[in-house]
A and B are shown apart, each in its own frame.
Chain A
């Protein structure tokens, strides 16, 4: 995309010249991101007047934000749903299947146990399992959005994935606690 035609109103997919979809070619995303930053980054405009440096900062900020949103499957899905006018209700809708909530409690207990035992290997095993289960939910999410256009179901999966994201954060906090 030529620098002069930079459009602040474009959605993140348009910004990178990608088709709006849950399944994304991450290599292409990465390449487009680098190409775009090579044009807009403040370092490319460091010897120019203040006004242009400010514009460069705003453009680079938007490109970074867009990239961070699209590279992460959960954030990408949430963004895609917002483009379709769907609110994922992550703060308001707390209704979850009982089975899912039970599994969450078991996850939490396992993480706390591993931390108390200062067992990094156990944490590592939990992390691997979490990654696998997260991946399965993400694959399902892509089907709901891209193939079936079942947005209410997709919003439900986004809410589940938010739980998985929190678990990943807890595992990292447990690693830190073991280290210190």
Chain B
């Protein structure tokens, strides 16, 4: 990677979405979404594993969805950093789930999916989508990426953020920053409109499209945005035919309640920010679902102003992420901006009686850290267990378990004498790191952080190994070809030398050389480039004195017929 000051570093923003994913970059100062070879910016977030080991991503996978639902993973984002019991009714989903034991007994780890190509973690599935987008970007930009900003929903907890970062790592991306989706949208609008003031971001998620029926319902919903009525025709797997005409009025009454429910969080957001409707300068819309006229109307009514619509709500997140990636890669200077984001959910620890003690409250500006002191409750106690949770509720059981770790190596003292200072550090990606120190002895206690839903380093390295296996196969093939070529050239050269100057060496030495030649020829039949290399070395060694003799002879030949004076300089 070059660090030349004026070289433009290739950086992208990636919206890793539930339904669709996009990659964007800043080109000539303007953020643009990058299209695939068919001119499409949106990559359906669908991954299909096939029996022959190949992986389909996007449209190709989506079109196989109804034929091969088990191996076609749709909307994998909802499984990121999640255990099986977090997923509502799994019987409605076509996948073969694998319940994974967590790092801690009594806890479950991130769920996995059994496919025809083996068991896959949501991290691996997401990595396929990210890899596809990375390749698209590198092909389009003509070079290797310095890094990427990946967006995550603002409500994503630590496990979901960590899973997203792991997926990016697996896809060979250097993560410059994880960025909250609404923040990314605000950046896209803020810079395009040179805005100053407080802006609200209204982000409406699209429902998960897990069933054929939903796919059709979605198409109908989109048509209703343009037309007054639409016809839904679906043949269910049972053979039953559904053929209905849906008018916009009917659809609106169906969705009115849903839309109204999305207004409630707006009130709460304003209250949290201690602002009134009048303080809001503009409203940014995110997500294709915000195109629905009743959503536009309801949001406009609440804020007393029509929402901003001059950027594509499907692309605005990726566009903002690209602008931030361009900044973080160091491509701007002087006129830049500073993003001060917050942690979306409070971090706390479990205390007596299964209650939560908040350590870092939500909406704290990141990076942030808080240190907490603990002590032992038994004489001679040398270890202590700490349970970190995330959420706003009072009870541990109502919050998300993030990590359980054990402080070991506490010097044995009477109860209450040890003072263990545990530091909770949240970095600029919103990810938690924990460290601890025993203060009275100055000992740095060893910590084993076991992310309840995260991946262990061993799992990550296994996945990295799997993903680079093909690359390794390629490397081996190339090494084999190179050694074979070298061996053939050497055999030919030695054969030629023997024919030309064989009389320079005694029969014993000649026999040794011919034995090594035969050995090298026999390794050529194998696929082992290392064996070939060893045989090449052996043959080279066997021919050292022969080569020396030939060199002497050629020098003598060159000198023959020349006078000494010609050789003087």
Contact = CB atoms under 8 A, between A and B. Distances in A.
Interface stretch (B236-244, B327-335, B488-496): B327-335
B364 interface: yes
Contacts of A179: 264, 267-268
A34 B339 CA distance: 10
A41 B429 CA distance: 12
B44 to A, nearest CB: 30
A34 B338 contact: yes
A43 B336 CA distance: 11
A61 B177 contact: no
A42 B271 contact: no
B103 interface: no
Given A37-B338, A175-B271, A43 B177 contact: yes
Nearest to B427: A57
Contact of A60 (B271, B330, B428): B428
Scoring A38, A44, A46, A175 by chain B CB atoms within 10 A of each residue's CB, the highest score goes to A46
A interface, how many residues as a size bin?
A: 20 to 34
Residue in B147, B177, B364, B368 with the greatest tally of chain A CB atoms within 10 Å? B368
Contacts of B147: 46-47
Given A43-B327, A46-B176, A47-B328, A38 B338 contact: yes
Contact of A68 (B177, B329, B339, B365): B365
A42 B9 contact: no
A41 B176 CA distance: 13
A46 B365 contact: no
Given A38-B338, A61-B425, A46 B177 contact: yes
B148 to A, nearest CB: 11
B328 A46 contact: yes
Contacts of B292: none
11 contacts: A34-B338, A41-B338, A43-B177, A47-B146, A47-B328, A60-B428, A64-B364, A64-B366, A68-B365, A172-B271, A179-B268
Interface of A: 34, 37-38, 41-44, 46-47, 57, 60-61, 64-65, 67-68, 172, 175-176, 179
User: What 6 pairs across the A-B complex have the smallest Cβ distances?
Assistant: A46-B328, A47-B330, A42-B428, A61-B367, A61-B369, A57-B367
Given A46-B329, A47-B328, A61-B369, 7 more contacts: A41-B338, A41-B340, A43-B177, A46-B176, A46-B177, A61-B367, A61-B425
